[in-house]
A and B are shown apart, each in its own frame.
Chain A
Amino acid sequence: MRKVGKPVVFVIVAIIIVFTTLAFFGISTSYGDITTTYIKGVDDIRWGIDIRGGVDVTFTPPEGYDATPDEMAAAESIIKVRLVSQNITDYETYVDEAKDRIIVRFPWKEGETDFNPEQAVKELGETALLTFRENQSGPVVIEGKHVKSASAEPSPDGRGSQVKLELTGEGAELFSDATGRLIGQQISIWMDDTMISAPRVDSQIPGGVAYITGGAQGFDVKEAKALADRINGGALPFKLETENFSTISPTLGFGARDAMVTAGVIAFILVAIFIIIMYRMCGVVASIALVGQVAGMIACLTGFFAPFPSFTLTLPGIAGIILSIGMGVDANVITSERIKEELRNGKTLDGAIDSGFQRTFSAIFDGNITMVIVAIILMGAFGPPQSVFNSLLSPIFRWFGPSATGAIYSFGFTLIVGVIFNFIMGVTASRLMLKSVSKFKPFKKPWLFGGAK
């Protein structure tokens, strides 16, 4: 850190400008109607359902029924099939096997004005009607009640997986009859009004045990498991009940979001003015670093850093970004105060900047560590099952089931990325910029950095 050349400040400012532009606007090309997005911008942020409207439901088996993990997986697969059949593809489902709960979240359908969420919720939880039909849509051969169980297993010839179907006594008879008649034709399997598979009958199947082989290649393991789950879903002995449901219309949320974004812009401007007045050159540098910090947080939300996925942003999440703007300045305040003091004690400008950063690092580190602890707890407690921090903290929180709300999770996330970018921008980038700026003659005046005039 001893030698920092003059051009460094330009390089860093240029990097921050480019990064900020990319993080906010992204890169996408339009060719006719096809838009290809290379880098996602703010328009691609996934808003939480508290903003764009949507439904949040928790389903559970009837009281007193202790469902097995297989049954829960089957129930989840019914819900997924139904969501897709209603053209809802942007859903999230979480299963909690300990508490027998399935949490489903899905946004309002785009452009839909008279979407009836209560009806949608009701339909999702209804008992699934599983039917096996002759050919694509012929008469019903057997129903869900005739299926004892379905399971995925490796194919005996080693090519992929297959689904093993076990039928009840009555089912076996009906099935034997039908397969006898339909050799060379198809038997289609339907859940409600959605066809989920249409295997061809190779030979009569008399014993009540059938295999769906998935053609010459077989299924892959996941496909076989999914099909088995769906068939089991049709044979579930219980109906799902809604334990919780909440719906929010999109008109409420977008207004709130716009208000919060305005709050963020105002907060940023006021904080920047405040630190520039208080710390002159250090304040200018801090403001530039703050731009980089906000851009970094946005980039984390949009999925800019390729291997890390995008992240849902909720109203508390936006509040977290704004809070990070306020708290992020702390690093610059601490160092600027120190630089001022060192200058007052008669150090040279260069020496003051160096020791200002060196002596305050532990204090800044301390401050950020406590926020990291808090953010991890927030994400662990309020995050969806299977997320990183949730798994990490599951020894503590597993007894309480998954959370009924996803809004606070986003707050924890913005806090933690705020801290990370505070180290990159508020500490490292600020230091490099200040050192480099102090090399320029017009700026080589201690009073610009808080010293006496």
Chain B
Amino acid sequence: MKQVDIVGRRKIWFSISSALIVLIIVASFVLGVKLDIQFSGGTIITYTFTGQADKASFEKTVEDSLGQPVTLREQYDVNTGLPNYIITLTNKSGITPDQQIAVNEALQAQFPENHVDAASISNVDPTIGRDFFLKSVVAVLAASILMIIYIAFRFRKMNGWSAGVIAVMALLHDLIIAYGAFVICGFPLNDSFIAVMLTILGYSINNTIIVYDRVRENRRLLPAKTTYKDLVNVSVNQSMTRSINTTVSTVIAVGCVCAMSLIYHVNSILTFSLPLLVGMFAGFFSSIFISGPLWAFWQEHKRVQKSSS
């Protein structure tokens, strides 16, 4: 089998990853990070209607009825192919059912021919939003801690703590890239974001473990004088087919979800599946091109230090 020298080209891989991470950090500041109303509190209402309804007048009717500024966005409906208007309240404090009824009535009076109807309303109080946000953060932290305990346990016998630390770094890398997908696509952070983060946390670590398992096995099999570079190269190449094939099948599955939700405008699933897809690519990349080479680099560095002292 042809061997690809992955460790030798480590500078290329490290640069790609670093560039992406820098890009994501810059994008977070430039584009800003949006929190969904689930976390920040607020109100979003989707109106369906038939025929033509003037946007400006629609927006004004809602504003007059509520006495606060709103924004209006147009979106096409999955089923009917008709446009929907999505109203977002800038005020975070939410509205009462009474106010909601008043808005609906005002719209129906203003556009009697259009059968205006509130197809979906989402109204979250800021305190509940904050609680939910904290809970989500705790969920991610709890999962991360469990994962680190698991990694520590798993790597105790295997490659020592250097491999464990690198595995955690690779995981962090994948999480940052998946988060980047949210920022760059302008998706607001919500419960889907938490689900994506946790899924990547569970999924990505396995690719890395498979590679390190090979490293451990080959250390016994290969002659003792094999350099770390060769050891990692052999191991990574051996697990490459498995990593590619597993990634391909998961990417096919998530890709189908992503494509269908894009075609049919299923926003809640698109904002979930697209970052997941990105995270899976990142997981593949980091397990093959980052964790192995980084470990080899670390070990070589340690040996050089030891022999020079």
Contact of A377 among B104, B146, B252 (CB under 8 A): B146
CB distance from B192 to the nearest CB of A (A): 7
Q: Tell me whether A249 and B120 are in contact (CB under 8 A).
A: yes
Known: A249-B120, A315-B269. A370 touches B135 (CB 8 A): no
Point out the residues of chain A lying under 8 angstroms from B80, CB to CB: 251
CB distance from A393 to the nearest CB of B (A): 8
Task: Name the CB-closest residue of A to B249.
Answer: A329
Point out the residues of chain A lying under 8 angstroms from B185, CB to CB: none
Point out the residues of chain B lying under 8 angstroms from A245, CB to CB: 97, 121, 123
The yes or no answer to A401 lying at the interface (CB within 8 A) is: yes
Residues 285 to 308 of chain B near chain A (Cβ within 8 Å): none
Point out the residues of chain B lying under 8 angstroms from A275, CB to CB: 245, 249
Point out the residues of chain B lying under 8 angstroms from A119, CB to CB: 97, 101
| Cα of A371 to Cα of B147 in the assembled complex, Å | 10
Q: Tell me whether B78 and A333 are in contact (CB under 8 A).
A: no
Point out the residues of chain B lying under 8 angstroms from A99, CB to CB: 131
Point out the residues of chain B lying under 8 angstroms from A168, CB to CB: none
Known: A58-B128, A263-B257, A397-B135. A333 touches B246 (CB 8 A): yes
Point out the residues of chain B lying under 8 angstroms from A256, CB to CB: 78, 261, 264, 266, 268-269
Q: Mark B255-286, 1 if CB is under 8 A from A, else 0.
A: 11101110110101100110010000000000
| Cα of A264 to Cα of B269 in the assembled complex, Å | 13
Q: Tell me whether A246 and B121 are in contact (CB under 8 A).
A: yes
Task: Name the CB-closest residue of B to A103.
Answer: B128
Q: Tell me whether A374 and B201 are in contact (CB under 8 A).
A: yes
Is the contact region of chain A dominated by helix, strand, or loop, or is it mixed?
A: helix
Point out the residues of chain A lying under 8 angstroms from B242, CB to CB: 333-334, 337
Known: A243-B127, A322-B253, A370-B206. A122 touches B97 (CB 8 A): yes
The yes or no answer to B98 lying at the interface (CB within 8 A) is: yes
Point out the residues of chain B lying under 8 angstroms from A259, CB to CB: 78, 260-261, 263-264, 266
The yes or no answer to A351 lying at the interface (CB within 8 A) is: no
Known: A122-B97, A326-B251. A382 touches B191 (CB 8 A): yes
The yes or no answer to B203 lying at the interface (CB within 8 A) is: yes
The yes or no answer to B210 lying at the interface (CB within 8 A) is: yes
How many chain B residues have a CB neighbour from A under 8 Å?
78
Q: Tell me whether B142 and A263 are in contact (CB under 8 A).
A: no
Q: Mark A369-389, 1 if CB is under 8 A from B, else 0.
A: 111011101101110000000
Known: A363-B209, A377-B146. A404 touches B132 (CB 8 A): yes
Residues 136 to 171 of chain B near chain A (Cβ within 8 Å): 136, 138-139, 142-143, 146-147, 150, 154
Q: Tell me whether B123 and A271 are in contact (CB under 8 A).
A: no
Residues 97 to 120 of chain B near chain A (Cβ within 8 Å): 97-98, 100-101, 104, 117-120
| Cα of A375 to Cα of B150 in the assembled complex, Å | 15
CB distance from A106 to the nearest CB of B (A): 15
Task: Name the CB-closest residue of B to A56.
Answer: B122
Point out the residues of chain A lying under 8 angstroms from B101, CB to CB: 116, 118-119, 122
Q: Tell me whether A246 and B139 are in contact (CB under 8 A).
A: no
Contact of A271 among B48, B253, B276 (CB under 8 A): B253
Q: Tell me whether A255 and B79 are in contact (CB under 8 A).
A: yes
The yes or no answer to B188 lying at the interface (CB within 8 A) is: no
| Cα of A244 to Cα of B125 in the assembled complex, Å | 6
Point out the residues of chain A lying under 8 angstroms from B118, CB to CB: 118, 247
Known: A267-B257, A270-B252, A316-B269. A401 touches B128 (CB 8 A): yes
Known: A326-B253, A404-B132. A363 touches B142 (CB 8 A): no
Q: Tell me whether A371 and B253 are in contact (CB under 8 A).
A: no
Point out the residues of chain B lying under 8 angstroms from A411, CB to CB: 195
Q: Tell me whether B268 and A315 are in contact (CB under 8 A).
A: yes
Point out the residues of chain B lying under 8 angstroms from A267, CB to CB: 252-253, 255-257
The yes or no answer to B74 lying at the interface (CB within 8 A) is: no
CB distance from A164 to the nearest CB of B (A): 36
Contact of B249 among A241, A326, A407 (CB under 8 A): A326
Q: Tell me whether A371 and B256 are in contact (CB under 8 A).
A: no
The yes or no answer to A8 lying at the interface (CB within 8 A) is: no
Task: Name the CB-closest residue of A to B135.
Answer: A400
Q: Tell me whether A260 and B119 are in contact (CB under 8 A).
A: no
Point out the residues of chain B lying under 8 angstroms from A271, CB to CB: 249, 252-253
The yes or no answer to A183 lying at the interface (CB within 8 A) is: no
| Cα of A401 to Cα of B130 in the assembled complex, Å | 11
21 contacts between A and B (CB under 8 A): A251-B79, A252-B79, A255-B79, A259-B264, A259-B266, A260-B269, A263-B256, A271-B252, A275-B249, A315-B268, A316-B192, A319-B273, A327-B246, A327-B249, A330-B206, A333-B242, A333-B246, A382-B139, A393-B142, A403-B135, A404-B38
In the A-B complex, the 8 residue pairs with the closest CB atoms: A326-B253, A400-B135, A374-B202, A326-B250, A263-B260, A267-B256, A381-B139, A255-B78
Q: Which residues of A contact B (CB under 8 A)?
A: 50, 58, 99, 101, 116-119, 121-122, 125, 241-249, 251-252, 254-256, 259-260, 262-264, 266-267, 270-271, 274-275, 278, 315-316, 319, 322-323, 325-327, 329-330, 333-334, 337, 363, 366-367, 369-371, 373-375, 377-378, 380-382, 393, 396-397, 399-401, 403-405, 407-408, 411, 415
Given pairs A243-B94, A334-B242, 16 additional interface contacts (CB within 8 A): A242-B123, A246-B122, A252-B79, A256-B269, A259-B266, A260-B261, A263-B259, A326-B251, A369-B150, A373-B147, A378-B195, A381-B138, A401-B132, A404-B129, A405-B132, A407-B268
